[in-house]
């Protein structure tokens, strides 16, 4: 049934593109500053309803390069009903330093109920009965949850290597990560007696500490400084939703021990994105594949869920959920080495100009996948409970999802997105709904 729905979505996209392919709308070229202030509305199956505010400023210069902008600011203050907080400022400029694009970020991100399922994908045992009140195994809704606060600052530079398409990039990213078990007392504030959450005993995260599967010196988190250097080949015709071109990048991440609580290591990250026009200005196909792996040293476990991209893409938190594998549980796929990929068919159904602003509405059908290719080695333990828990895990294999999405764009650069994905395996959850900003890649 689910696969039939996905095939139907794809068929509708293709047939609709043929019917509407001849529609033409004359867009207005933008120049100078353009801004939009919007409520930070949204929804994510993992984090709940989002509320707050987003301010975006774009400088299009003389308009000759529209829809590419010369510089932009992004301000966001938002919260969700499940305890996620975003306080973020990003700045992106192509004009401050001649010939060099610079991107800066300062963020404070909080998660009162961040997903934690152990490590190495299906090796980590997941039983939804532990979080379901109607199940005999019920413990608490936050059994697979932990608390995290993340301070992040980043400065990256991009320059040309011989021509407009081949570029170098480098920079530095600092992360200060604070971890703990879920604060049940804080979550219960203001709740009616019948809605109070039972004590979790620290949940699975607390169990991992008690069983010796997480070392005490990493349990509370730590700080990490990451130097980045790499190269990319970029022929995309438009960043927010390219109709053609590719973006291939490779980067080396260097983490010195003196900046990272004694944990020094190196990582390699490779990502390839490619875009094909099927119907001019109407239908395109896009795919992305990425492989990230540890090369040397020892990584603390709290750095495993992070997915690194070159600017202007932001560092992501874990495989699973809105930005990587739509439809499965967030942070479900966590290991030292991993691979993931996405394939998406996009159709711009309708275009118009209102009050001198360009608008379009698009539909999409997608399939996502990912898996751990290099396991995180857990500390050895003689604890009987730990041994029994680990024995419940399964062999890792590919995690698959599929689904569809709708997108509403203003001046090509501000895009509101709704994606809905189904998990192919119940060990990854059932489904996910995500309302936010921008295409996935």
Segment 228-263, tens digit of pLDDT: 999 999 999 988 899 999 999 999 999 999 999 999
pLDDT value for 16: 41
pLDDT value for 189: 85
Rounded CA separation 225/256 (Å): 7
Domain that holds residue 427: 2-437
Q: State the total domains in the chain.
A: 1
pLDDT value for 10: 44
Q: How far is CA 99 from CA 105, 156, 194, in A?
A: 20, 14, 61
Q: Is the distance from CB of 51 to CB of 436 less than 8 angstroms?
A: no
CATH number of the domain residue 127 falls in: 2.40.160.50
Instruction: Count Cα neighbours of 230 within 13 Å in the Cβ-side half-sphere.
Output: 23
Q: Report residue 323 CA to chain centroid gap.
A: 3
Q: Is the distance from CB of 255 to CB of 275 less than 8 angstroms?
A: no
pLDDT value for 30: 78
Q: Which residues of the chain have pLDDT under 70?
A: 1-28
Q: Is the distance from CB of 184 to CB of 197 less than 8 angstroms?
A: yes
DSSP state of 413: T
């Amino acid at each position: 049934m689910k696969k039939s729905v996905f095939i139907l979505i794809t068929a509708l996209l293709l047939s609709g593109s043929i019917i509407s392919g001849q529609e033409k709308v004359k867009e207005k070229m933008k120049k100078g500053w353009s801004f939009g202030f919007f409520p930070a509305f949204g929804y994510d199956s993992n984090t709940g309803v989002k509320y707050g505010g987003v301010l975006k400023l774009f400088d299009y210069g003389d308009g000759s390069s529209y829809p590419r902008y010369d510089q932009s600011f992004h301000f966001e203050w938002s919260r969700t009903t499940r305890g996620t907080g975003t306080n973020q400022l990003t700045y992106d400029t192509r004009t401050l330093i001649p010939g060099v694009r610079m991107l800066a970020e300062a963020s404070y991100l909080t998660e009162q109920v961040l997903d934690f399922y152990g490590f190495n994908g299906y090796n980590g045992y997941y039983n939804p009965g532990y979080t379901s009140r109607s199940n005999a195994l019920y413990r608490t809704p936050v059994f697979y949850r932990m608390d995290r606060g993340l301070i992040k600052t980043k400065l990256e530079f991009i320059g040309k290597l011989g021509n407009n398409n081949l570029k170098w990039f480098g920079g530095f990213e600092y992360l200060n990560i604070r971890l703990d078990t879920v604060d049940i007392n804080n979550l219960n504030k203001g709740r009616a007696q019948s809605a109070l959450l039972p004590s979790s005993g620290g949940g699975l995260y607390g169990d991992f500490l008690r069983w010796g599967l997480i070392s005490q010196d990493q349990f509370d988190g730590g700080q990490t400084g990451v130097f980045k250097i790499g190269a990319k080949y970029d022929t995309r015709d438009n960043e927010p939703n390219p109709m053609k071109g590719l973006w291939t990048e490779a980067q080396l991440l260097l983490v010195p021990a003196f900046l990272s609580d004694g944990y020094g290591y190196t990582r390699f990250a490779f990502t390839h994105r490619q875009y094909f026009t099927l119907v001019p200005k109407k239908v395109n196909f896009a795919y992305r594949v990425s492989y990230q792996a540890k090369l040397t040293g020892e990584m603390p476990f709290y750095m495993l869920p992070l997915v690194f991209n070159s600017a202007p893409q932001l560092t992501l938190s874990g495989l699973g959920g809105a930005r990587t594998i739509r439809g499965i549980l967030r942070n479900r796929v966590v290991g030292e080495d991993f691979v993931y990929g996405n394939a998406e068919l996009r159709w711009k159904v309708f275009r118009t100009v209102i009050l001198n602003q360009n608008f379009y509405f698009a539909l999409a059908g997608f399939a996502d996948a990912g898996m751990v290719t290099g396991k995180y080695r857990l500390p050895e333990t003689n604890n009987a409970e730990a041994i029994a828990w680990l024995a419940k895990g399964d062999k890792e294999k590919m995690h698959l999802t599929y689904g569809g999405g709708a997108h509403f764009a203003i001046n090509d650069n501000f895009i509101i997105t709704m994606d809905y994905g189904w998990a192919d395996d119940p060990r990854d959850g059932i489904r996910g709904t995500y309302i936010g900003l921008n295409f996935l890649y």
